[in-house]
Amino acid sequence: MLTLTHLEKSFGAMKAVDDVSFTVQPGEILGLIGQNGAGKTTTFRMILNFLTPDSGTILWQGHAFTSRDYDQLGYLPEERGLYPKMTVEQQILYFAQLRGRTAAEIKPQIDEWLARFAVKGQRTDKIKDLSKGNQQKVQLIATLIHKPALIILDEPFSGLDPVNAGLLEDGILWLKSQGSAIIFSSHDMTNVAKISDRIVMLRNGQVVLSGSVDEVRAQFGRTKLFLESPLTQSELEQIEGVSRVTRHGHQFELTLADEAVGKEIFERATQAGYIPEFSQQAPSLDEIFRLKVGEQHD
C-alpha cells in the first residue's frame, strides 16, 4: 500500500503541493485529477524521489521506499523519451534491466506484450522507424512489462486515439487484476470515470474532492435531468428551480438548482400519461471537474 500523509512542497513563494494525503491499495486504481499546475506531477515526482517533500511522509508497505522497492515501480512520464536508434527489443530490455529484471525473464514476454497493445512493428525494428503512436505504445510496454507492484502513469492517454486508449485501459485493468497499485493522471474524465476505483482532485495543490466516482458525484445531488415529454422549452424554463434548459432534438437537458424540483417536473411531464424519457442524474465527472476548477475564478 502507498500512503501519502500531509505532503507539502513549495518552490519559492509558490506552494505546489499543500497538505495532500491519500492511499492506494494493491489492486486499486486511483485517478489523480486537476487543472494544469494543480500539483499532480509534483506529487508524482515526490513519490519517485525526484523531489524531496518540505514536510509529510511517503510510505510503501508501511516504510520509506528502499532501492529494492523502486525496482517494483513502473513510471510513465508525461514527457515521453525513447532511444531512437535502439530496436524495440533493446529498448524494452534496457528499461526492464534498470528495474533489476534479466533479459532471460523479459525476452519471452515481448511478443505477448506487443500483441496486447497491437504494436505495428517487429521487435527488431528501430524505434525511429515506428509511428509516433507505436513508439508511445512501446514506452508503455517498457513501463509495464516487469509487472510492477506500483505503477504511476502521468497523462498516459495523451495523444492516443480511442482504439489505442481502449487497449491501454485493458492493459491497466489487467495489471490491476494482478494486484498492482496504480495511480494515473488524465484530463479526459471519461477515462477517469471508466477505470478509477477512487479519485483525488487537486486544485492549487490542495485536495478538494476524494472518493469513488459515485461518491463524488453524489455530493452534488441529482441536478441533471434528461427529459422527452410534451412540455415545451418555455414551460420548463418557467419552473422555479430550473437553472438551464438545453434542447437536443426531441430531448431536453435540464440543470436544476435543487434535485427536489425533479418531482414537480415529473408530475407535470406525465399528466397525460407515458413519456419516452425521464432520467435524473448527478452531474458527470467532467461537469464536476469544470465546476471545481472554475471556483478559483469566481
Task: Note whether 179 and 243 are same-domain residues.
Answer: no
Which of 188, 212, 236 finishes a domain?
212
Interaxial angle between packed helices 103-116 and 132-144, expressed in degrees from 0 to 180 and rounded to the nearest 10:
130
Q: Is residue 156 part of a domain?
A: yes
Assigned C-alpha cell, 117 = 497493445
Task: Note whether 106 and 202 are same-domain residues.
Answer: yes
Residue pair 27/182 in contact by the 8 Å Cβ criterion: no
pLDDT tens for 37-93 read: 899 999 999 999 999 999 999 999 999 999 888 888 999 888 778 899 999 999 999
pLDDT tens for 146-167 read: 889 999 999 888 878 888 888 8
Task: Note whether 60 and 191 are same-domain residues.
Answer: yes
Residue ranges making up the domain that contains 257: 224-281
Position 298 pLDDT exceeds 70: no
CATH code assigned at 47: 3.40.50.300
Task: Note whether 131 and 110 are same-domain residues.
Answer: yes
Task: Note whether 131 and 159 are same-domain residues.
Answer: yes
How many domains, in total, are found in the chain? 2
Q: Is residue 230 part of a domain?
A: yes
Task: Note whether 85 and 152 are same-domain residues.
Answer: yes
Q: Is residue 114 part of a domain?
A: yes
Phi-psi region of 29 (alpha: psi -120 to 50; beta: other; left: phi over 0): beta
Residue 295, pLDDT score: 64
Q: Is residue 289 part of a domain?
A: no
Task: Note whether 130 and 174 are same-domain residues.
Answer: yes
Q: How confident is the model at residue 296 (pLDDT cuts 50, 70, 90)?
A: low
Which of 212, 233, 253 finishes a domain?
212
Q: How confident is the model at residue 179 (pLDDT cuts 50, 70, 90)?
A: very high
pLDDT tens for 18-40 read: 999 999 999 999 999 999 889 99
Q: How far apart are CA 165 and CA 171, in angstroms?
A: 10
Q: Is residue 137 part of a domain?
A: yes
Q: Is residue 293 part of a domain?
A: no
Give 87: exposed, middle or buried? Use CB within 10 Å, 0-12, 13-18, 19+: middle
Reduce the DSSP state of residue 82 to 3 states and report it.
coil
Which of 190, 212, 234 finishes a domain?
212
Q: Whole-prediction pTM value?
A: 0.84
How close are the terminal C-alpha atoms of the chain, in Å? 38
Task: Note whether 208 and 233 are same-domain residues.
Answer: no
Task: Note whether 44 and 190 are same-domain residues.
Answer: yes
Task: Note whether 206 and 268 are same-domain residues.
Answer: no
Task: Note whether 138 and 186 are same-domain residues.
Answer: yes
Give 143: exposed, middle or buried? Use CB within 10 Å, 0-12, 13-18, 19+: buried
Task: Note whether 206 and 229 are same-domain residues.
Answer: no
pLDDT tens for 93-145 read: 999 998 889 999 999 999 999 998 889 888 999 999 998 888 888 988 999 88
